Structure 1
Amino acid sequence: MFRKEKVIRIALGSSIPVAVLVVWQIAVELGLLNPMLFPGPISIFGDFYDMILSGELVHHLGVSVVRAMSGFLIGAVAGLVIGISVGLFRRAEHTLDPTIQMLRTVPLLAVTPLFILWFGFGELSKILLISMGAFFPVYVNSFLGVRNVDAKLFDVARVLEFSRYQQIVKVILPGAMPNILLGIRLSLSVSWLCLVVAELMGADEGVGYLIQDARAYLRTGVVFVGIFIFAIVGKLTDSLVRILEARLLKWQDSYRG
């Protein structure tokens, strides 16, 4: 029964993308779309297969994944630690939160030229840009998660004479976990977005560079391959977090539709 429900869920989730691809291919076959600008899915799959065989796609994807995950880990860990600290201590909130909220409203595209001026076109500027984008979703949701923990639980923790460490591990983290995991999901998506910005502006490796290079040589199929790769990898990372949510939040008795 569980396997049947899983198959139905996968079928429903993939129905819209499959329908779009079918309609897209039919439109190309009927001449409704210019194949130079909108190559059909079959042609794009052919480009994808050729790039897999040549090793080109694997190489560029590996570079992009390392960049995205490095920046994500730095930003997410910093956001988690600072978010929990600001949520726990009112003085930390009054000192840090106004500045962080001000920086959060600055568009990443506005600071990208500064990152390039300060750190050049190397890996450091790209990873720091991704880290900055990944920081804010985790910070905001960690802060809100701590503040949404029931105050009565803290009263119980004081009665039981929990240390600060025990309060964090046994009260704060479990109570804030739904918000923290939401922040991680949002942070992952922002990390991929920042990766694209970083690689399009100046890189000689990565999927973003692959898209930029293909655009320059009118290899539209390769551009679509890059876009699909970002979409697929982004969905896979989001699914991994959702699996983590299902395991860590078993205790939640929330409405599931």
Structure 2
Amino acid sequence: MLEFFQNLSPVMQALTATIFTWGMTALGAAIVFATKTVHQKLLDSMLGFAGGVMIAASYWSLLGPSIEASTDNAVGPWFPALVGFLLGGGFLWIIDKILPHLHPNAEKKQAEGLAADKRKRSTLLVLAITIHNIPEGLAVGIAFGALANHSTEAALAGAITLAIGIGIQNFPEGVAVAMPLRGQGMSRMKSFMYGQFSGFVEPIAAVIGALAVAHIEPLLPYALSFAAGAMIFVVAEEVIPSSQENGNRDLATISLMIGFALMMVLDVALG
């Protein structure tokens, strides 16, 4: 796998990696072809698992490297990480207030964003997961874009590991969109199409992130922490609450711990 990626430019590496993560979203959505319902406990455990992966990736793949890349910063190595992290969270907060969306498991009346009450439930669900995927795509793109100036086998392995982790947690996100739609009577094909479409934004965000850091090297530590802040906002504001609001708190929490541990091991062992 390393040899394959080494023959590509950083932008093409990011695009290839996020096509994989998009494919994992589609794979999760494809569950609708096998069944009409997924047990709520399973769905909540998958959401918890996804949250754990995102939290671990935010530190080991993003915040940690941001601090390491800032050792020469005049204020301190913590400064770019702090600024980028808060800007990333603020960016997602603004999108959350503007873009109409509906969290998984929520009632239509709980939809958020501008003119949310005028949108179809299916559209709102897709937009909710799309919000998730913006920082995920950026994170993968930034990790590969950094290779334009600091290309080593370890750095490449770390970027690939991040993409694998994001792909793993995209599977339950595809399920979280497609299965509720199927349960409400939507056809299998339409439920699948809505579910997989939520991952389409990842390759776009990845290319933007890769181009930005590949051509503006001083931006790298800020971009890494920006993606981390955006991901943590999504986890805290949506993923964890959605996984626990149906009474399966212990199961969701244990699943989050497992997801965190798996991503930690992948990143440390492979990256």
**TM-score band, normalised by the shorter chain?**
0.3 to 0.5
Higher alpha-carbon Rg: 1
TM-score, normalised by the number of residues in structure 1: 0.36
Could you tell me the TM-score, scaled by structure 2's length? 0.34
